[in-house]
């Protein structure tokens, strides 16, 4: 798939270079290989050739007459990105820097300080230091405002630029000037960068019988982190462990292979997910290799409108196999697969190459996964400042190719009787949500009630 896509892209731009009056300049600056003009004409695609000629004409006019001088590289990259983003909401072009940043997120580790930050009135505000990192050992605290980096003010810097300056090679040093509430004078802290691993798996015990595991994204560390978290829970709970709550709320997804691995951790046999591409020979299917790490303990999966992509693959697979009960609200509905294709010049393109389908053949594109037990976070609808679901995005792919609704799995008959009585909304006097107090998390509390009502040691009915 990558080879075919790359060759098509190269052919398009080889023809495009020939088409306009600026072809020689583009070839010289960007290293395109010129082919005879007859090559494009002989294909019979006269309309395509005309449009590529139009592109060359527009490029030439912009270079010659725009009110300010333009950078040829920026103009071409913008054009490439426009071609991709016009296809669907998830295809795009990444220049070399953006591609490197994406690889950092995918690997889940980088040289840095270990702090989560946001922007606040022109300064950089610390959300939280990550445990056992240079920032936490130096005494950086939640709420600190970072005023300067190595003596240079952060005012005027974008959040991304500030983060880039804080990252760097391990063992390199940096000085942070911070303002702390209740302290009159700014504090100077000297830190030495280390390899920081993004904490994508968080876990703890709820009581002495239920293990709670939260996955914040799917990067290269997710499956190994999940296995490690479960081993720690099992060691702590021993024979008292009754079940697991797997929290995928607000998890935007990530790597497909990690979604498959996480699904495989809970499913003994059968399909986890399949993808269908434009060319049938590029379609794929992934099956469980066997070996449920929990030995069939009851599992409840928490989802909401922020659960997307890889999260929906896991939730859909466990739901179709009747391996877990889903609690929460309908998921985002991103049922497409993006392939990252490196390009000359160290950039890359992210191209939608397939749709994915749950084991029963459902396409959740634009529809999402509907939970088995509907539970809302609050009594009132939360305001949204942007698209709430995949179907709301401009240019979203249609839902096609999945099994008709009439062929969908029959309603579940294996839910515990109490599931019918689980309230959809918290009571009026429910306390405000506090991330440090799990008893304020209404969805989690209902998930705990459901998992405790599930029988131990019996595989759910199919």
Alpha-carbon distance of 387 to 306, in angstroms, equals 11
By three-state DSSP, how is residue 438 classified? helix
Query: Is there a single domain that holds both residue 182 and residue 226?
Result: no
Residue 365 CA, distance from chain mean position: 16
Question: Which CATH number belongs to the domain containing residue 411 in this structure?
Answer: 3.90.226.10
Q: Is residue 81 part of a domain?
A: no
Query: Is there a single domain that holds both residue 226 and residue 367?
Result: yes
Alpha-carbon distance of 324 to 318, in angstroms, equals 5
- Comparing CA positions, the residue from 107, 26, 88, 61 lying closest to residue 354 is 88
Calculate the alpha carbon distances from 339 to 34, 92, 94, 336, 396 in Å.
Answer: 28, 11, 13, 10, 17
Domain closes at, from 197, 213, 247: 197
Query: Is there a single domain that holds both residue 395 and residue 253?
Result: yes
Would you give the DSSP letter of residue 238? G
**pTM reported for the whole predicted model:** 0.77
Q: Is residue 388 part of a domain?
A: yes
Domain closes at, from 170, 197, 224: 197
Q: Specify the residue for token string 């896509």.
A: 5
Residue 173's domain spans which residues? 109-197
Query: Is there a single domain that holds both residue 172 and residue 214?
Result: no
Which of the following is catalytic: 320, 331, 372, 441? 320
Which of the following is catalytic: 265, 311, 334, 441? 334
Alpha-carbon distance of 385 to 374, in angstroms, equals 24
Tokens matching residue 210: 């239920």
Q: Is residue 398 part of a domain?
A: yes
Say whether 73 is catalytic. Answer: no
Say whether 179 is catalytic. Answer: no
Could you tell me which residues come within 8 angstroms of residue 296 by beta carbon, excluding any fewer than 6 positions away? 457, 458, 459
Alpha-carbon distance of 195 to 230, in angstroms, equals 24
What pLDDT is stored for residue 386 in this prediction? Answer: 52
Count the Cβ atoms, other than its own, within 10 Å of residue 448: 22
Q: From the first residue on, what is the mean pLDDT of each consecutive set of 10 residues in the chain (462 residues)?
A: 31 30 37 38 72 94 96 93 92 89 80 83 80 88 90 86 88 94 92 88 96 94 96 95 96 93 97 95 94 95 94 97 97 93 90 95 93 92 64 86 70 92 94 86 97 76 36
Alpha-carbon distance of 92 to 81, in angstroms, equals 5
What pLDDT is stored for residue 443 in this prediction? Answer: 97
Query: Is there a single domain that holds both residue 158 and residue 252?
Result: no
Say whether 223 is catalytic. Answer: no
Would you give the DSSP letter of residue 411? P
Query: Is there a single domain that holds both residue 411 and residue 267?
Result: yes
Alpha-carbon distance of 320 to 273, in angstroms, equals 10
Q: Is residue 94 part of a domain?
A: no
Which of the following is catalytic: 23, 309, 311, 331? 309
Helix (H) or strand (E) holding 280: none
Tokens matching residue 230: 């479960």
Could you tell me which residues come within 8 angstroms of residue 368 by beta carbon, excluding any fewer than 6 positions away? 305, 312, 330, 331, 332, 333, 389, 390
Question: Which CATH number belongs to the domain containing residue 152 in this structure?
Answer: 2.30.42.10
Query: Is there a single domain that holds both residue 314 and residue 183?
Result: no
- Comparing CA positions, the residue from 76, 74, 71, 82 lying closest to residue 20 is 76
Alpha-carbon distance of 40 to 43, in angstroms, equals 6
Alpha-carbon distance of 370 to 408, in angstroms, equals 12
Query: Is there a single domain that holds both residue 151 and residue 216?
Result: no
Domain closes at, from 136, 164, 197: 197
- Are 326 and 372 a contacting pair, CB within 8 Å? yes
Q: For the segment 186-231, what is each residue's pLDDT rounded down to a tens digit?
A: 999 999 999 887 789 999 999 999 999 999 889 999 999 999 999 9
């Amino acid at each position: 798939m990558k080879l075919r896509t790359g060759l098509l892209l190269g052919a398009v731009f080889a023809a495009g270079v020939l088409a306009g009056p600026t072809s020689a300049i583009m070839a010289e600056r960007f290293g395109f290989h010129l082919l005879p003009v007859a090559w494009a004409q002989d294909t019979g695609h006269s309309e395509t050739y005309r449009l590529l000629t139009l592109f060359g004409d527009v490029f030439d006019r912009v270079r010659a007459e725009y009110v300010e001088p333009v950078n040829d590289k920026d103009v071409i990259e913008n054009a490439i990105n426009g071609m991709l983003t016009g296809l669907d909401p998830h295809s795009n072009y990444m220049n070399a820097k953006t591609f490197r940043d994406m690889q950092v997120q995918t690997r889940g580790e980088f040289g840095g300080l270990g702090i989560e930050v946001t922007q606040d009135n022109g300064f950089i505000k610390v959300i939280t230091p990550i445990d056992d990192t240079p920032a936490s050992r130096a005494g950086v605290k939640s709420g600190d405002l970072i005023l300067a980096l190595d003596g240079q003010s952060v005012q005027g810097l974008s959040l991304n630029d500030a983060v880039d300056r804080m990252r760097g090679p391990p063992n390199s040093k940096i000085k942070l000037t911070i303002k702390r509430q209740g302290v009159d004078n700014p504090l100077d802290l000297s830190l030495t960068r280390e390899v920081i691993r993004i904490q994508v798996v968080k876990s703890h015990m709820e009581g002495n019988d239920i293990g709670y595991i939260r996955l914040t994204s799917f990067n290269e560390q997710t499956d190994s982190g999940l296995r490690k978290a479960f081993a720690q829970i099992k060691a702590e709970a021993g024979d008292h462990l009754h079940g697991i709550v797997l929290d995928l709320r607000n998890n935007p997804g990530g790597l497909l292979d990690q979604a498959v691995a996480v699904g495989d951790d809970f499913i003994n046999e059968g399909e986890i997910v399949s993808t269908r591409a434009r060319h049938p020979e590029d379609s794929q299917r992934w099956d469980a290799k066997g070996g449920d790490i929990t030995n069939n303990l009851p599992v409840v999966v928490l989802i909401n409108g922020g659960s997307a992509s890889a999260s929906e693959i896991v939730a859909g697979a466990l739901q179709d196999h009747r391996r877990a009960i889903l609690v929460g609200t309908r998921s985002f509905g991103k049922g497409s697969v993006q392939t990252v294709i490196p390009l000359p010049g160290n950039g890359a393109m992210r191209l939608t190459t397939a749709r994915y389908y749950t084991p029963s053949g459902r396409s959740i594109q634009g529809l999402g996964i509907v939970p088995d037990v509907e539970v809302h976070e609050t009594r009132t609808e939360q305001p949204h400042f942007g698209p709430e679901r995949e179907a709301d995005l401009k240019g979203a792919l249609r839902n096609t190719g999945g099994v008709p609704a009439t062929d969908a799995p029959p309603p579940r008959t294996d839910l515990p009787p109490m599931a019918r009585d689980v309230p959809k909304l918290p009571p009026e006097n429910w306390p405000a949500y506090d991330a440090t107090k799990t008893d304020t998390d209404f969805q989690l509390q209902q998930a705990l009630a459901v998992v405790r009502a599930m029988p131990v040691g019996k595989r759910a009915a199919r």
